[in-house]
Amino acid sequence: MSIKQDRYLLVLYITLLAGFLITTAFYYLSLMTGSEGIALDLFGGGIDGIFYWEQALNVANDRPWVNTSIYPWLIGQVVKLTNIEDVFVIRMFNYLGYIVLVFFSTKLMDKLIQIDNLNQLLTNYKYEMKTIVAIILLIYPSLLMNAHSSIIRDVWIYALYVIATYLSLKIFFAKENILGSTLLLLPTLWLLWEFRNYIFLSFVLTMAAYFFYRKVLIKGNFRRLILWAIILFGIYYTFFRTLRIPFVNMSLVDALQYRVVDEYETAGGSQMWINLNQSNFLLFILNYIYSYIGNMIGPLPWQISGVSTLIIFVVEAIPMTLILFYIYRKRKLLTASTQFVLLHGFVWFGMIAITNDNVGTATRLRVSGWLMIVFVFIIVWFKSLCLKKEEKDHVQNIIY
C-alpha cells in the first residue's frame, strides 16, 4: 500500500475508534449522573432518548408502544434478540449506524471522484480527499453529539441519506449496475421514510427539482430555477396552503402552526423568533429567507444568547459560511454530479426552515445537508488544486 493509503486507513481507524470511545464515555458519564446511560442533559437528547428507551422496552416485552417512527421498534428488536435490557446495547446499535455513515461517506466521495474526474488528476488525490472526509466525521461537533451523546435516531437518518445519495449517483451519473442499485435504493428510501418522512420528501423534491433544472430549463439556468420555484410556491402559498400533502398528511398551514406551537413550548435563548404564518406571500418569503439562512448557518451573530450558541457560531457557523462562499467563488467548477449533491443540501435546508425555529434543533437537523455541502467543497477544492497544477506544469513546459 502507498503512504497516502496507509495514512487514510490510519485516520479512518482513529475515527471509528474515537466514535466507540466517545459513545462509551457518554454511557458511563450518564450512569454516574443518574440518567441510566441514556444521555447527558448537558448536551440535550435526554427527553427523546428516555422516550425511545421506554418504547424499546415495551416492544421487547410485547407491550403496546407509541409508533412515532420505525426506530423504537428496531431498537426494541435489538433488545429482544440480545436479551440485554441495558442502554449500552442500543448505543452499540447506533455506533453501527456511525460506522455505516463513515463507510458510505467515503464511498460517496469515491463515486464523486470517479464521475467528476478532471483529466484523471483527481484520482491522484483520492486518499487525501477521503482522509479529509474521515477527519470531518471525527471532528464535526453536532454530528458527534447527536450520534453519541444519546440513543436518538439521528445517526441512522444521516447514514440512510448518504446511502441514498450514493446510490442515486451510481444510477443517474455513473450508470453502474442500474438495476441492482435501484433495488437497493428503494428499501433505503423506505427506511428513510420510516425514520423521518419529511427527509424522504426532501429527497424526492430534490430529484424532481434537479430533473426540472437539467432537462426542462434552457441551459440549466439556476436563476430561472429559483424564479420558477418562487412563482410556483407563491401560487401554492396563496391558494393551496391548506391542502394536505400526500404521505406526510400535513398541509403548509399545519406545518406553520406546528412551528408556532413549538416556539412557545420550547421557548428559550436559542429561539430565532421568526413567524412564517403571514397574511400574504411577500411577508412570508421575507421571513422564510431569514429562517432559511438561520437554519442553514445559524446562529447568526445577533442570535448568540449564551456560551453554547457562541461555541456553535465559532466552530460551525463561521466555517460553513466560509465553505459556502468558497463554493460560490468556484461555482464554475461545479458539474452535474456536484450540483446534484449540493441541491440535496439546499432543499433539505428549505424543508427545515419551514418547521424549525430553534437554533439547537437546527444544528441537529441540518447535518444531512451540511455533509452534502462538505463533500462538494472537497471536490471543488481539489479540482482547483488540480487546475493550478496543470497551469503550472504548462508554464514550465513552455519555459523549458
Q: What does the DSSP assignment read for 166-232? A: HHHHIIIII--SHHHHHHHHHHHHHHHHHH-HHHHHHHHHHHHHHHIIIIISGGG-HHHHHHHHHHH
Mean pLDDT of the chain: 87
Residue among 313, 287, 319 at smallest CA distance from 300 = 313
Q: What is residue 337's predicted lDDT score, i.e. its pLDDT?
A: 93
Please state, in angstroms and rounded to a whole number, the distance separating the CA atoms of residues 333 and 331: 5
Q: What is residue 370's predicted lDDT score, i.e. its pLDDT?
A: 96
Q: What percent of the chain has pLDDT over 90?
A: 61
Residue among 242, 238, 216 at smallest CA distance from 228 = 216
Q: What is residue 217's predicted lDDT score, i.e. its pLDDT?
A: 58
Domain map of the chain by residue range? Answer: 217-400
- Residue 396 above 70 pLDDT? no
The model's pTM? 0.91
pLDDT (tens digit, 9 = 90+) per residue, 282-308?
Answer: 888 899 999 999 999 989 998 888 888
pLDDT (tens digit, 9 = 90+) per residue, 35-64?
Answer: 889 987 665 556 889 999 999 999 999 999
- Residue 154 above 60 pLDDT? yes
| 391 confidence band (pLDDT: 50, 70, 90) | low
Q: Give the bridge partners for 53, in sequence order.
A: none
- Residue 267 above 50 pLDDT? no
Mean pLDDT, residues 92-110 taken together:
97
Terminal-to-terminal C-alpha distance of the chain: 34
- Residue 113 above 60 pLDDT? yes
Mean pLDDT, residues 348-366 taken together:
90
pLDDT (tens digit, 9 = 90+) per residue, 207-263?
Answer: 988 887 776 655 556 677 778 778 888 888 888 787 877 666 777 777 777 666 554
